[in-house]
Structure 1
C-alpha cells in the first residue's frame, strides 16, 4: 500500500491544480470562450475524480490515524481542506456567472427572433398582422 505521506501530497497537488483550473475557468467565462469552458469542465471532472479516489485510498490506509497525530500531516490535511473549501466557493461563483451568461444569451436570442419576425410582418385586407417569411423573395421580374 502507498505511503500515506505520498497520498496526502498527491491530494494537495490535485487540490492546488483544481484551484488554478477554477481561476482559468473564471477567465474563460468572462471572455465567453465556450470551447475553453468545455475543456476546463472536463479537466475539472478528472481532478475531482482523482481527489475522490485519493480520499478513499487515504481513508482505507492502515495508518490513517497518523493524519491527526503527525503534526506535518495534520497541517497538510488542514491546508487541503481549506483549498477544497475555496474551490467549492469559486465553483459556485463560476456557476452563477455561467447561468447569467446563459440568461443573457437567451434574452439576446429572443430579441433576435422577435426582430426577425417583425421584418417579414405585413397586414392583410382585414388589418390583421401576417408574418411572411418569403417577403420579397418570390418576385419574378
Structure 2
C-alpha cells in the first residue's frame, strides 16, 4: 500500500512544526550558552532536515503530484508548507549568526585572558589570531 499524497503532506507539516519548535529550543540554548544542548539540537535538526528531504522526494515522485499544483486544498497546503519552510530557514539563519557572534565573543575573551597572563608571552600567528608563546626569545642558541 502506497502512502497517499495527503498523508505525505501531513507528515511534512509535522516535520516542519517539529523543526520550528527545535529551532526555538536551539535559540534558547544559544542565548543561555548551553553548548551540550546546542549540539543536541544540531543533531536533531539534521535528522529532521533529512526527513523533510525524504518526504519532499516522495512528494516529487508521487503519481498524484499534479494535484499539488491544481487550485484547492492541496495547493493551499503546499503554499502553507513553503511559508513554514521559509520561516524555519530565517530562524536558522538568525541562530547561525548568533552562534557566530558567540564564538567571536569567546575568542575575544580568550585573547583578553591570554593578554592578562603576560603580554611578553603573546604573539600573533599567520591568521592574525593571538597565541601564547612560552619560549618567546628563550630558545635561541647562539
Shorter-chain TM range is 0.7 to 0.9
Number of aligned residues: 123
Assess, with a 3 A threshold, how the Cα gap between structure 1 residues 115 and 78 changes in structure 2: closer, same or farther: same
Matched, 1:104 2:105: yes
Q: Is structure 2 residue 21 aligned with structure 1 residue 20?
A: yes
Match of 1:46 in 2: 47
Q: What are the residue-to-residue correspondences of 1:19-98 with 2, within 5 Å?
A: 19-69=20-70, 71-98=72-99
Equivalent-residue separation in structure 2 for 1:97 and 1:107 (angstroms): 15
Determine the structure 2 residue equivalent to 1:138.
none
Q: SS of 2:85's equivalent?
A: helix
Partner secondary structure for residue 115 of structure 2: helix
Aligned counterparts of 2:41 and 2:120: Cα–Cα separation in 1: 40
Kindly state the Cα deviation for residue 69 of structure 1 after the two structures are TM-superposed: 2.1
- Quote how far apart the aligned CAs of 1:116 are: 1.2
Q: Report the CA distance between 1:70 and its aligned residue.
A: 5.6
Mapped partners of 2:46, 2:69: distance in 1: 29
Q: Partner of 2:118: helix, strand, or coil?
A: helix
Paired residue secondary structure (2:41)? helix
Q: TM-score, normalised by structure 2?
A: 0.81
Please, which runs of 5 or more residues in structure 2 have no aligned partner? Answer: 122-132, 136-142
Let me know the Cα RMSD of the aligned residues: 1.9
Distance in 2 of aligned mates of 1:92 and 1:118: 37
C-alpha separation between the residues in 2 aligned to 1:97 and 1:64?
A: 38
Name the larger-Rg structure. 1
